[in-house]
Structure 1
Amino acid sequence: MQQQFVHPAILQHFMNAGDLYTSETEVLGATIRHLAAHQGQVTNKAIIIHLIKQLECTDDVVQQDILRQTLELVVSHTPDDLHI
C-alpha cells in the first residue's frame, strides 16, 4: 500500500477554523511535530494511529475529549484509500 502524506484538506480545515478548534489544532501540531521528529515523515495513517494511542494512554476526560475530536476531524478529512 502506498504511503499518503497529510492531505491538504486536513491542514486547511484546521487553519480556517480560527478559534473554534484551538485545542485540537494544538494537538494536531504536536502530533505532526512528534511524528516528523521520530519517524521522519507524517502520513494521515500515522496521525490517526498516534491519536488513538494517545487516547488509550490518558485518563484525563478533558484530554480524551480533545483527542477524540481531533481524531474525528482528521478521519473525516482523510480521503479513502484507492482500491486497485
Structure 2
Amino acid sequence: MHNTTDLLIQSLIFNFFIDLVPLLVVTLIAWLILSKVLKRYELRANEKLMLERENTTLLQKRVDDLNERLVGIEKLLKEVE
C-alpha cells in the first residue's frame, strides 16, 4: 500500500513537470523575442534622439547667426538716425 502511494505521488509529480516543460519553453522563447524587439526599439529611439539633438544644434546655430545679423542691422539703423 505504501509503495503504491509513493508510486502515485511520483507519477503525479513527474506528470506535473512534464506538463510544465512546454510552458517554460514557450515562456523562454517569448521572453527572448520580446527582449530582441525591445533592444531594437531602444536602438531606434537612441538613433532618433541623436538626430534630434544634431538638428537642434544646427537650428540653434542658425538662430544665433540670424541674431548676430539682426544686431548688426539694428546698429546700422541707429547710425543712420
The TM-score by the shorter chain falls in which range?
under 0.3
Q: Which has the higher contact order (CA 8 A, sep 6+)?
A: 1
Q: Return the structure number with greater helix share.
A: 2
Q: In terms of Rg, which structure is larger?
A: 2
- TM-score computed with the length of structure 2 as normaliser: 0.25
